[in-house]
C-alpha cells in the first residue's frame, strides 16, 4: 500500500509538470472543455471505442498510468472497508492527476494549432480544473453534502447519483473490457475511460521516459571550446620574462633537498626488490627450511590448480552436454564433480563476474583454518585385530548341534533331569508328581515312579557301582533304587542302603525312614524327612554323602549333609550367611561349594573353614556347576548372566557371558569334553566350548559354539534344567513344555 | 556340445542292442535315453514292449541331464561315452502291516519266517504273509535283538537278547508251533543290545552295554555250563532254571570303551562290532584278537556287511550312512557317505541279492532305499511309519521289513532284478 502510494505521488509530480505545459490551453478553452469533457465522458460511458477513435491520432503524450489505477481498483474492491481512509487519499491524489490529464485530453486539437501561435499568451492561472471551483482541497470535506463543489457561476455541482454498489463494480470489472483503464474523478464524480494514448503516456512515465515521444534526449552537443590545439593563440599577448629565466625559488628548494640528501636527512625511496614479487607461487613446493625448523610442520593444504575446465574458452570436450548438465543439476551440490559448469566465451572480456568467488574464498579460509596444525601420531589399528582370536566353532567339534530325540510323557513341567553315570538312563522329575526313567538311545520311558508331589530335583548317584537316585520332593528326600542295570550294581546299592543303622539321635532335625509295601515295590527305598521344603540335592562324587538344600532366609539350618551308609545327617553351618541357592561337592578334594544369592562360598570340609568367597557380580544366582577338574565354577543367574570363575585366578568372575535374553535356569559342565552349557527361560540352551589348560599361565578358552532351540516357552518358562551325557558330546534339556530333549 | 557320442551296453541279455556309437543330444535325460533304447529294441524285435530303464555313466546313476552329469563328474565330452543301462528298479510295494503290542526293537527275517523283538518283553514269529505264528515270552525286560540261528526242517533255533542282560536260545517247532527255551546265556553285565549268528550257525556273538563282546556256542546241548554265581538271590536262580540251561560265553572280546551297539559276522572267522565309542572293530573270532579299527567321530548305531561288495555300511547318530572297507589297514577311510536322513540312522541293511543296494531306517520316521551308484539321493523313501524306525531287514525273497516305535512292522515287496543279482 505504501509503495503504491509513493508511486502515485511520484506520478503526480511528473504529471504536474506536464500539466503546466498545457496550462494555457486549459485556461483558454474552459467552457468548451467542460462541454467536451462531458460529452466525452458520456461517449465513453456509452461507447468506449468511440472515444478511442477520436483521441487516438492526436494525443501523443497524454494518458494515465494503467497498472497503478488497475491495482488501485482491485484494492478498492478487495479491501475497501479495512483501508478506506487510505484509499480515499489515494483516490484523491489520483483524481487530481487524472483531472489534469483529462483536461489535456480534451484539448489536443487546439494544442497543435496554438503552438504555432503565441505560446506565452495564455499563462494566467494555476487552476487546473475550472469546472469545480473548490480548488485543491480534500474532497472528503464534501462528503456529507449533496454537492461536491461549485461551478464558475457559483452554482452547486451536485454529486452524480451513484448507485453502483460492490456487485455492480464487480460485474463491471468482469464484463467491461475497459474497466482497467476506467478511473473515477472525484471532483466531478464521474468515471473516465482513458484513451490508448493516455495509457501509453502513463506507461512511458512509468518507464522513466519523457512524455513526449518526439523529444530527443541525445541531441548532438555543440562545444564552445575544442580539444584540438589551434595554430592561433586565443590571446596575442607576448610570453613573460619569467618563462625564460630559471626560478630562483625552485633552485633554492632543490638545493635544500640536495643538501638534505647529502646530509642523509632524506633517504631516497628504497626500491622494493622485485625478486619476491607481489605474487607468490601458490603451488610451488614448500621451502625446506621451514620443514627443517619444525619437525611436525604441516604445510597448508593447497588449492587445486585450475584446469581446462576453468578456462573461459575450454576445449569442447570439457563443455557439458545437455545430459551432463541435467545430471549436474540433479546432483546434490556436495556430490558434484565440478562446483561450476564450464562455459565458453568468445573472449575474456565477456566473462562475467564469478559468482562463487566469495563462497570459494570462504571455503579456502575454512580449509586453512581447520587444517590440523599438529601431526597426530595415530596408530592404525585394524578393527578385526581387536577382536580376540577365537577359533571357529567348526574347529571345536564335537559339540551338540541338532535336536535328535524328544522324550515325551510328562504332563507337567520337568524341573530336573539327571543322567545315570553309565549314560544309559535318564531320570527326570516333573511337577506332575512323577519321576520317569528313560532309555537314552531310544527315548523309551522304561519306568515311571509316582512319588506324589512336585519333584524339585533329581540326582543320580555318581558312583557307577551303585544305582540310586535322590529325589527332592516337598520336605522329603527320597532315595530311589530304579534297579536298572547290572544285578551286581543293584545288589551293591541295596547293601549301601541297608547299611548298619545308627541309633537315631533325638536331637537331629532329620528323620530317616525305610519304606514298606507299595512304596518299596515302586522302588522307593529310603525317605529322609526334612523340617523344611528341600529344593536341591547333590551327591558327593563317591556316592555316600548327599547334601540337601532348604532355602530359608531366617535360619542357619539351610544345608544338610547326609551320609547314606550310616544314615546320619548333620548341619555343617552354624550361621546364616544368606539364602542358599544351591550346593555342590568338589569332584576331587574335600571342598564344598555353597551358592547364596550373590556369592559362592567354598568351605574346606576337613579343616571346617571357609577358604574362598566368589563374588558373582550378579543379582541372584540360580544355578552352579563345578568343572570336573575342580578349579573352575560356572554360575547362572536370574539376571541372564553366566559367570565363569577361575578359582586360582580371582574371586571375581574370569568371564561373564550375557548371551541369554532371560533368566538362566541351569548350567552344566561336561565330564570329559571341554563343553559347558546354560539353559534359560528364553527357551534356548547355549553350548560353549571351554577348554581348561593344565598350564596355569594359560587362561581358559571360552567360545560360545551353539544355540540350541527346541523347547516351547510355556507360562514364561523355557528350559529348566540341562545336563550333559557323561560320555558323549550330547546334551539333555528339560523344559516347561513337559518334554526332555536330547541334542547331539 | 549339443551332440555327444555314446555307446550303450547292458548286462541284461534280454535288452542287448548293437555295440555302435550313437550321436545323442547332450541335454537328453533318462527319459530320452530310455526312448532311444526302446526304439532300438523295437527295431530289433517287433514284439518288444516298452521297458523303463535307468542309466549309469561310469558307475553313477544318471539323474540330471547328461551334459550336466558329465560336467559334475568331470567326464570328457570329447570321447565316446559308455552308458550302461539296466531295467529301472521299481518302487517297493507295501504288502503287510503287522501290529505289535509295543515298540518293535528288532527284526530278523529269512525266506520262511519273520522274527521280531519287541519292547513288550516278547519276541514274535510271523509268516511272510503277515500271520502271527508264535509269541516267545520269557524275558524279564525289553527284547533288544533277535536272530535266527539255524533251521533243520521244521525245527528252528532262534536267539533273543534282552535288557535283562541275558540271551535266550529257543527251539521252535513250526509244525507243532511250540517253543522251548534251550539255553539262557548269562555273562553280560549290561543290556544285551545286539546278537548275531555266524554263517555256519555254530556260534553267535553278542554285544552289550557293558562294552563287552562275547562269542557263544550256538549248538544246543543238554547240559548246563558251570556258573560261579554269587549266591545271594535265590529268587533269580529259580527264574533261570525255568528258562533253559545256563550257558557261558566261549570268549569275551574286550576293547570297546563304550557300549557295543551292533555286531555281525563278516566271515566265519571274523566278527565286526560297532560301538558308541566311535569305532568299528574287526575281530578274529578264533583267537579273539582285534584285527582292525575303523574310527569315526560319531556314535555308531548299526552296521551291515555285504558279502557281495565286501563293504560295511554304518548308521550313525549324525544322520549319515557311511560305507567302509573293513580290510583296509589304515583304518578310518570312509568310502562313501549317504546323507538324506534327518535323524539318527538306527538301522542299515545291505540287500542280500544286490551288491549296490541297501536300506536304512532312521529316527525321522523314514525308511530309505539306496543305491551306492546314486549316492546323492536315495532311490526311494518309504514313509510308512508314524514314529521312529528302529529296525529294517531284507530277505532274499525280495521282502523289505521295517519296524519302529509306532508298533507296526511293515513289509514291502521289492522286485529284485535277476540280472543284477547275478552281477
> Is B190's Cβ below 8 Å from some Cβ in A?
yes
Q: What distance lies between CA B281 and its chain's CA centroid? A: 18
Helix (H) or strand (E) holding B413: strand B408-413
**Whole-angstrom distance, CA of residue A112 vs CA of residue A198:** 17
Bridge partners, residue A635, by sequence: A624, A643
**Which of A:100-129 have CB within 8 Å of B?**
none
pLDDT for the residue A499: 64
Instruction: Give residue A256's pLDDT band: very low, low, confident or very high (50, 70, 90).
Output: very high
User: How many CB pairs (< 8 A) connect A and B?
Assistant: 49
Residue A456: all three cell numbers together: 524339585
A250 confidence band (pLDDT: 50, 70, 90) = very high
DSSP code string of A684-698: EEEEEEEE--SSTTS
Q: Which residue of B has its CA nearest to A495?
A: B232
From 3.40.50.720, 1.20.1250.20, 2.130.10.10, 3.40.50.300, which CATH number describes the B93-222+241-413 domain? 2.130.10.10
pLDDT at A55: 41
A671 contacts in chain B (CB < 8 Å): none
User: B73: distance to nearest CA of chain A, Å?
Assistant: 28
8 A C-beta contact, residue A309 and residue A281: no
Residue A560: Cβ-neighbour burial (10 angstroms; 0-12, 13-18, 19+):
buried
**A84-106 vs A30-46: helix axis angle to the nearest 10?**
110
- Set of cell numbers at residue A114: 496554438
* Cross-chain CB nearest to B258 (options A443, A487, A727): A727
- The answer to whether A727 contacts B191, with C-beta atoms less than 8 Å apart, is no
Query: Where does the pLDDT of residue A500 fall: very low under 50, low under 70, confident under 90, or very high at 90 and above?
Result: low
| Residues of chain B positioned with their CB less than 8 A from the CB of A672 | none
Sheet containing strand A559-563, strands side by side: A536-539, A545-549, A559-563, A568-570
Look at residue A276 in the predicted model and tell me its pLDDT.
Answer: 60
C-alpha span between B336 and B320 (Å, rounded): 10
Radius of gyration of chain B (CA): 24
Q: How confident is the model over A627-677, as pLDDT tens digits?
A: 888 888 899 998 888 888 888 878 888 888 888 888 898 999 998 888 899
pTM for this model (two decimals) = 0.65
Alpha helices by DSSP H, listed for A639-697, are none
- The pLDDT value given to residue A417: 92
A672 touching B (Cβ < 8 Å): no
H or E segment and range at residue B306: strand B300-306
| Cα A620 versus chain centre, distance | 39
Adjacency order of strands within the sheet including A455-460: A455-460, A469-473, A476-480, A524-529, A511-514
pLDDT at A667 (0 to 100): 92
* pLDDT tens, residue order, chain B (423 aa): 577 788 888 877 777 777 788 888 878 888 888 888 888 888 877 777 777 888 888 777 887 888 788 777 777 777 788 888 887 777 788 888 888 888 888 998 888 888 899 888 888 888 888 888 888 888 888 888 998 888 887 888 888 988 888 888 888 887 888 888 888 888 888 888 899 988 888 888 998 888 888 888 888 777 666 655 544 444 444 444 457 778 888 888 888 888 898 998 888 888 889 888 888 888 888 888 888 888 888 888 889 988 888 888 888 888 888 888 877 766 556 778 888 888 888 999 988 888 888 889 988 888 888 888 877 788 888 888 888 889 998 888 888 888 888 888 888 887 755 444 333
Q: Is the pLDDT of residue A477 over 90?
A: no
> Torsion-angle region of residue B165: left (phi > 0), alpha (psi -120 to 50) or beta?
left
Q: Is A648 helix (H, G, I), strand (E, B) or coil?
A: coil
Q: Taking CB atoms and an 8 Å limit, are B233 and A487 in contact across chains?
A: yes
Per-residue pLDDT of A539-595, as tens digits, reads: 888 888 888 888 887 787 888 888 887 778 888 888 888 888 889 998 888 888 988
Predicted local confidence at residue A733, as pLDDT: 92
Confidence band of A11 (pLDDT split at 50, 70, 90): very low
A187-201, A494-508, B32-46, B268-282: range with lowest mean pLDDT: A494-508
Between CA B320 and CA B337 the distance in angstroms is 6
pLDDT (mean) for A170-196: 83
The cell 492561472 sits on which residue?
A125
- Report the pLDDT value the prediction gives residue A102, as an integer from 0 to 100: 47
Q: Give the integer Cα–Cα distance in Å for A84 and A1.
A: 12
Cα separation, A643 vs A62, in Å, equals: 102
CB A639 within 8 A of CB A618: yes
Residue A119: pLDDT band (50, 70, 90) is low
Give the residue on B whose Cα is nearest the Cα of A726: B258
User: Which residue on chain A is closest to B299 by alpha carbon?
Assistant: A728
Taking Cα atoms as reference points, which of A680, A683, A682, A687 lies closest to residue A724?
A687
- The DSSP code for B4 is E
d(CA A454, CA A717): 16
A16's enclosing H/E stretch is helix A2-21
- Give CA angle at B50 (B46, B53), nearest 5°: 125
**How many helices and strands in chain A, by DSSP H and E?**
16, 33
Q: What nine digits make up the cell of B385? A: 511309519
Q: Topology of B3-87 in CATH?
A: Ubiquitin-like (UB roll) (3.10.20)
Chain A partners within 8 Å of B318 (Cβ): 744
Q: A483 and chain B: CB distance < 8 Å anywhere?
A: no
- A242 vs A15: which has the higher pLDDT: A242
End-to-end CA distance of chain B: 34
Cβ contacts (< 8 Å) between B233 and chain A: which residues? 487, 491
Block residue for cell numbers 464521474:
A190
Q: Report the relative pairing of strands A580-585 and A568-570 from DSSP bridges.
A: unpaired
- List of chain B residues whose C-beta atoms are within 8 Å of the C-beta of residue A405: 344, 363
Query: Which is nearest to A600 in space by CA: A570, A628, A572, A632?
Result: A632
Written as nine digits, the cell of B220 is 544246543
Nearest chain A CA: its distance from B407 CA (Å): 13
Contacts of A744 in chain B (CB under 8 A): 299, 317-318, 344
Cα angle A661, A666, A667 (rounded to 5 degrees) comes to: 100
The candidate with the shortest Cα–Cα distance to A33, out of A116, A114, A109, is A109
Contact A186, A176 (CB under 8 A): no
Percent of chain A with pLDDT over 70: 78
Assign B344 to helix, strand or coil. Answer: coil
DSSP letters, A136-203, are: SS-GGGGTTSSEEEE-TTSPEEEPP-----HHHHHHHHHH-TTGGGEEEETTTTEEEEPPHHHHHHHH
**Is residue A724 within 8 Å of residue A671, measured between CB atoms?**
yes
Cβ neighbours around B172 below 10 Å, total: 23
> Of A381, A467, A379, A474, which is closest to residue A419 (Cα–Cα)?
A467
End-to-end CA distance of chain A: 90
Residue ranges covered by each domain of chain B:
3-87, 93-222+241-413
Q: pLDDT value at position B227?
A: 58
3-state DSSP of A241-281: CCCCCCCHHHHHHHHHHHHHHHHCCCCCCCCCCCCCCCCCC
B239 close to A (CB below 8 A):
no
Would you state the pLDDT for residue A258?
93
* Cα separation, A475 vs B338, whole angstroms: 54
In 3-state terms chain A splits into helix, strand, coil percentages (rounded to 5) of 30, 25, 50
Residue A624 has pLDDT above 80, yes or no: yes
Cα→Cα distances A657→A450, B16, B134, Å? 38, 69, 60
Asked if B189's CB is within 8 angstroms of A444's CB, the reply is: no
Q: Which three cell numbers stand for residue B186?
A: 548269562
Q: State the average pLDDT over residues A37-43.
A: 43
**Spatial CA neighbour of B82 closest among B65, B52, B53, B62:** B62
**Mean pLDDT of the A708-730 span:** 88
- Specify which residues A437 forms β-bridges with: A427, A447
What pLDDT, on the 0 to 100 scale, is given for residue A24?
Answer: 44
* Cβ-Cβ contacts under 8 Å for A7 (sequence gap 6 or more): A68
Q: Which ipTM value was assigned to this complex?
A: 0.85
Q: Write down the mean pLDDT value for chain A.
A: 77
Instruction: State the CB neighbour count (10 A cutoff) for residue A365.
Output: 10
Amino acid at each position: 500500500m505504501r509503495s503504491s502510494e509513493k508511486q502515485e505521488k511520484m506520478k503526480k509530480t511528473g504529471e504536474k509538470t506536464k500539466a503546466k505545459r498545457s496550462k494555457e490551453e486549459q485556461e483558454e478553452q474552459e467552457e468548451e472543455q467542460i462541454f467536451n469533457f462531458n460529452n466525452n465522458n458520456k461517449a465513453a460511458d456509452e461507447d468506449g471505442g468511440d472515444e478511442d477513435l477520436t483521441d487516438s491520432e492526436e494525443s501523443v503524450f497524454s494518458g494515465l498510468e494503467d497498472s497503478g489505477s488497475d491495482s488501485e481498483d482491485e484494492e478498492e474492491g478487495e479491501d475497501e472497508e479495512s483501508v478506506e481512509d487510505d484509499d480515499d487519499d489515494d483516490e484523491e491524489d489520483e483524481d487530481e492527476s487524472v483531472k489534469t490529464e483529462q483536461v489535456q485530453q480534451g484539448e489536443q486539437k487546439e494544442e497543435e494549432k496554438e503552438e504555432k501561435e503565441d505560446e506565452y499568451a495564455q499563462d494566467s492561472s494555476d487552476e487546473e480544473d475550472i469546472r469545480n471551483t473548490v480548488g485543491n482541497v480534500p474532497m472528503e470535506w464534501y462528503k456529507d453534502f449533496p454537492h461536491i463543489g461549485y461551478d464558475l457561476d457559483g452554482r452547486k455541482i451536485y454529486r452524480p447519483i451513484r448507485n453502483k454498489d460492490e456487485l455492480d463494480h464487480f460485474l463491471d470489472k468482469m464484463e467491461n473490457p475497459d474497466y482497467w483503464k476506467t478511473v473515477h474523478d472525484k471532483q466531478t464524480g464521474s468515471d473516465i475511460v482513458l484513451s490508448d494514448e493516455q495509457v501509453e503516456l502513463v506507461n512511458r512515465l512509468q518507464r522513466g521516459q519523457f512524455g513526449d515521444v518526439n523529444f530527443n534526449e541525445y541531441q548532438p552537443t555543440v562545444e564552445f571550446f575544442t580539444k584540438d590545439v589551434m595554430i592561433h593563440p586565443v590571446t596575442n599577448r607576448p610570453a613573460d620574462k619569467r618563462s625564460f629565466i630559471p626560478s630562483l625559488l625552485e633552485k633554492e628548494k632543490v638545493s635544500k633537498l640536495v643538501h638534505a640528501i647529502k646530509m642523509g636527512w632524506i633517504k631516497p625511496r628504497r626500491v622494493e626488490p622485485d625478486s619476491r614479487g607481489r605474487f607468490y607461487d601458490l603451488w610451488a613446493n614448500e621451502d625446506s627450511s621451514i620443514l627443517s625448523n619444525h619437525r611436525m610442520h604441516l604445510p597448508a593444504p593447497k588449492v587445486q590448480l585450475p584446469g581446462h575446465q576453468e578456462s573461459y574458452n575450454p576445449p569442447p570436450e570439457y563443455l557439458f552436454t545437455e545430459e551432463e548438465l541435467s545430471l549436474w543439476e540433479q546432483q546434490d551440490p556436495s556430490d558434484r564433480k565440478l562446483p561450476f559448469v564450464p562455459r565458453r566465451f568468445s573472449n575474456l572480456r565477456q566473462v562475467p563476474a564469478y559468482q562463487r568467488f566469495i563462497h570459494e574464498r570462504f571455503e579456502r579460509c575454512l580449509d586453512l583454518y581447520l587444517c590440523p596444525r599438529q601431526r597426530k601420531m595415530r596408530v592404525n589399528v585394524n578393527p578385526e585385530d581387536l577382536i580376540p582370536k577365537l577359533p571357529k566353532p567348526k574347529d571345536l567339534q564335537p559339540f551338540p548341534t541338532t535336536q535328535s530325540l524328544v522324550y515325551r510323557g510328562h504332563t507337567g513341567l520337568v524341573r530336573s533331569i539327571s543322567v545315570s553315570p553309565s549314560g544309559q538312563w535318564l531320570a527326570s522329575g516333573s511337577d506332575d508328581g512323577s519321576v520317569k526313567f528313560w532309555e537314552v538311545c531310544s527315548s523309551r520311558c522304561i519306568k515311571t515312579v509316582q512319588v506324589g508331589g512336585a519333584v524339585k530335583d533329581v540326582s543320580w548317584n555318581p558312583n557307577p557301582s551303585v544305582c540310586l537316585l535322590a529325589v527332592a520332593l516337598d520336605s522329603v528326600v527320597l532315595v530311589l533304587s530304579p534297579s536298572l542295570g547290572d544285578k551286581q550294581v543293584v545288589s551293591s546299592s541295596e547293601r549301601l542302603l541297608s547299611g548298619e543303622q545308627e541309633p537315631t539321635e533325638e536331637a537331629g532335625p532329620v528323620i530317616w525312614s525305610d519304606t514298606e509295601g507299595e512304596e518299596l515295590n515302586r522302588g522307593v527305598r529310603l525317605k529322609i524327612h526334612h523340617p523344611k521344603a528341600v529344593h536341591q540335592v547333590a551327591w558327593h562324587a563317591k556316592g555316600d554323602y548327599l547334601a540337601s538344600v532348604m532355602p530359608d532366609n531366617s535360619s542357619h539350618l539351610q544345608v544338610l549333609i547326609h551320609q547314606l551308609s550310616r544314615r546320619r545327617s548333620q548341619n555343617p553351618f552354624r550361621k546364616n550367611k544368606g539364602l542358599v541357592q544351591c550346593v555342590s561337592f568338589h569332584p576331587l578334594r574335600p571342598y564344598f561349594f555353597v551358592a547364596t544369592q550373590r556369592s559362592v562360598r567354598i568351605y574346606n570340609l576337613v579343616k571346617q573353614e571357609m577358604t574362598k568367597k566368589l563374588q558373582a557380580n550378579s543379582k541372584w544366582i540360580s544355578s552352579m556347576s563345578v568343572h570336573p577338574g575342580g578349579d573352575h565354577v560356572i554360575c547362572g543367574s536370574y539376571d541372564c548372566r553366566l559367570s565363569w570363575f577361575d578359582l586360582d585366578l580371582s574371586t571375581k568372575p574370569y568371564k561373564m557371558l550375557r548371551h541369554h535374553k532371560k533368566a538362566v535356569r541351569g548350567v552344566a559342565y561336561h565330564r570329559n569334553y571341554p563343553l559347558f552349557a546354560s539353559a534359560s527361560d528364553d527357551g534356548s540352551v547355549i553350548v560353549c566350548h571351554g577348554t581348561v589348560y593344565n598350564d596355569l599361565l594359560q587362561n581358559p578358552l571360552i567360545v560360545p559354539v551353539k544355540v540350541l532351540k527346541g523347547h516351547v516357552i510355556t507360562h514364561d518358562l523355557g528350559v529348566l534344567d540341562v545336563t550333559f551325557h557323561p560320555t558323549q558330546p550330547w546334551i539333555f534339556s528339560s523344559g516347561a513344555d513337559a518334554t526332555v530333549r536330547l541334542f547331539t | 556340445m549339443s551332440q555327444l557320442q555314446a555307446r550303450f551296453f547292458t548286462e541284461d541279455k534280454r535288452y542287448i542292442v548293437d555295440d555302435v556309437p550313437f550321436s545323442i543330444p547332450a541335454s537328453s535325460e533318462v527319459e530320452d535315453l530310455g526312448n532311444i533304447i526302446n526304439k532300438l529294441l523295437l527295431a530289433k524285435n517287433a514284439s518288444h514292449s516298452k521297458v523303463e530303464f535307468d542309466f549309469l555313466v561310469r558307475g553313477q546313476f544318471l539323474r540330471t541331464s547328461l551334459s550336466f552329469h558329465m560336467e559334475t563328474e568331470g567326464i570328457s565330452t570329447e570321447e565316446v561315452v559308455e552308458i550302461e543301462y539296466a531295467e529301472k528298479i521299481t518302487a517297493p510295494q507295501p504288502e503287510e502291516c503287522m501290529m505289535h503290542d509295543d515298540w518293535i526293537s528288532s527284526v530278523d527275517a529269512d525266506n520262511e519266517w519273520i522274527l521280531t523283538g519287541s519292547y513288550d518283553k516278547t519276541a514274535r514269529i510271523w509268516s511272510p504273509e503277515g500271520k502271527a505264528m508264535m509269541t516267545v515270552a520269557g524275558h524279564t525286560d525289553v527284547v533288544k535283538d533277535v536272530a535266527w540261528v539255524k533251521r533243520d526242517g521244521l525245527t528252528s533255533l532262534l536267539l533273543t537278547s534282552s535288557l535283562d542282560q541275558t540271551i535266550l536260545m529257543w527251539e521252535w517247532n513250526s509244525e507243532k508251533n511250540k517253543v522251548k527255551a534251550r539255553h539262557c546265556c548269562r555273562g553280560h553285565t549290561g543290556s544285551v543290545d545286539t546278537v548275531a549268528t555266524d554263517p555256519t550257525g555254530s556260534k553267535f556273538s553278542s554285544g552289550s552295554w557293558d562294552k563287552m563282546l562275547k562269542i557263544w556256542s550256538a549248538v544246543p546241548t543238554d547240559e548246563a555250563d558251570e556258573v560261579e554265581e554269587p549266591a545271594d538271590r535265590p529268587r533269580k536262580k529259580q527264574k533261570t532254571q525255568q528258562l533253559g540251561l545256563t550257558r557261558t560265553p566261549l570268549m569275551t572280546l574286550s576293547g570297546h570303551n563304550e557300549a557295543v551297539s551292533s555286531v555281525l559276522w563278516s566271515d566265519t572267522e571274523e566278527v565286526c562290532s560297532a560301538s558308541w565309542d566311535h569305532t568299528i572293530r574287526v575281530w578274529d573270532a578264533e583267537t579273539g584278537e582285534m584285527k582292525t579299527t575303523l574310527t569315526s567321530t560319531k556314535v555308531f548305531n548299526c552296521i551291515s556287511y555285504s558279502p557281495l561288495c565286501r563293504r560295511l555300511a554304518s548308521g550313525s547318530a549324525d544322520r549319515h550312512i557311511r560305507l567302509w572297507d573293513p580290510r583296509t589297514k589304515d583304518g578310518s577311510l570312509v568310502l562313501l557317505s549317504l546323507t538324506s536322513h534327518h535323524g539318527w540312522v538306527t538301522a542299515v541293511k545291505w540287500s542280500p541279492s544286490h551288491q549296490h543296494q541297501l536300506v536304512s531306517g532312521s529316527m525321522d520316521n523314514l525308511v530309505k532305499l539306496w543305491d551306492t551308484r546314486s549316492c546323492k539321493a536315495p532311490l526311494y523313501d518309504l514313509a510308512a511309519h508314524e514314529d521312529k524306525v528302529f529296525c529294517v531287514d531284507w530277505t532274499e525273497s525280495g521282502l523289505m521289513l521295517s519296524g519302529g516305535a509306532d508298533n507296526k512292522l511293515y513289509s514291502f515287496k521289492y522286485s529284485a532284478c535277476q540280472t543284477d543279482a547275478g552281477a
